[in-house]
Amino acid sequence: MNAGLTLRERSEAEASRLPPLLARAEHLAGTVLLGDHGRRRSGMGDDFWQYRPAQVGDSRRMIDHRRSARGDQQFVREREWQIAQSVMLWVDQGASMRFASDASLPTKADRARLLGLATSILLARGGERVGLTGTTLPPRRGNAQIIRLAQAWSEDDQADYAPPEHRAMIPHARAVFISDFLGPMEEVELALSKAADRGVRGVVLQVLDPGEENFPYRGRTIFESVGGSARHETLKASDLRDRYLARLAERKDTLMRLCRVTGWQLGLHHTGDSAQAALLWLYSALDGGRV
């Protein structure tokens, strides 16, 4: 009985988060002016591009039965316009994203989800297909897909750091990664390298709390990971400041190098800054511009 109540309460809590997130993302997307033509592009026809293995979420009518009849695996026939107008997103759901140094600030997770969903809304309005990296939610069009994205991003990952998803990258599509990128960099390097190998180009947005940038801590301080797996107590927090800032700068340099090598664009956003400015940068960067 208690387990059932816990499950029901958890489900109701997740459902209650969905409408506000959607409403806020719709409002934020509405503040960005796209011009008269949105993102629809000329020159994209129905020419055959490639066959790819069917993924979870593909409808039965997408299956090419003639190609699939040659073996035991089902294949989808993709056309040029489908590839060019597909954008895959990964928004970090790890516990480290649920940090805020001050009650007046949103958590990094809240800001990342808001930006990811608002970007998806803008892309969908421009006629593009949006979805998640991986196999759980392939890129699609329409408002129903936006709701699916909001549902997917309403769930937290219990691990301190969630690695970026890099399975089933659609060749020559585009992608968006939003995270604090404070976890193991090996996973980030693997994801960007695999994406680059498949001709995927995209945008990396690092979201940090102002406290993580400034390290304002002094005196006796207890540092504890959001997930509770790590804890460190010090009597003189200021003694750690220089070493911490050096490590953070080193991590930013690594991320910048990875983006430069793979051809991705890198942005930095602080949760105390304007979400509208970050959204405008994301949208412009996806279109190949630089803001």
Q: What does the alpha-carbon distance between residue 178 and residue 93 come to, in Å, rounded to a whole number? A: 10
Specify the pLDDT at position 43: 36
Specify the pLDDT at position 48: 47
Average confidence (pLDDT) over 254-259: 96
Total-model pTM: 0.76
Flag the least confident range among 68-72, 248-252, 255-259: 68-72
pLDDT band at residue 40 using 50, 70 and 90 as cut-offs: very low
pLDDT band at residue 80 using 50, 70 and 90 as cut-offs: very low
Percent of the chain with pLDDT over 70: 70
Q: Which of 259, 258, 223, 264 is nearest to 244 (CA)?
A: 223
Flag the least confident range among 43-47, 88-92, 265-269: 43-47
- Statement: residue 67 has pLDDT above 80: no
Q: In the predicted model, what is the mean pLDDT of the chain? A: 80
Burial of residue 208 (number of CB atoms within 10 Å: 0-12, 13-18, 19+): buried
Show the domains of the chain with their CATH numbers: 3-26+84-287 (3.40.50), 41-81 (no CATH)
The strand ranges marked E within 210-264 are 221-224, 231-234
Query: Any bridge partners for residue 130, and if so which?
Result: 87, 140
Q: Using alpha carbons, list the distances in angstroms from residue 4 to 13, 151, 179.
A: 14, 21, 33
Phi-psi region of 173 (alpha: psi -120 to 50; beta: other; left: phi over 0): beta
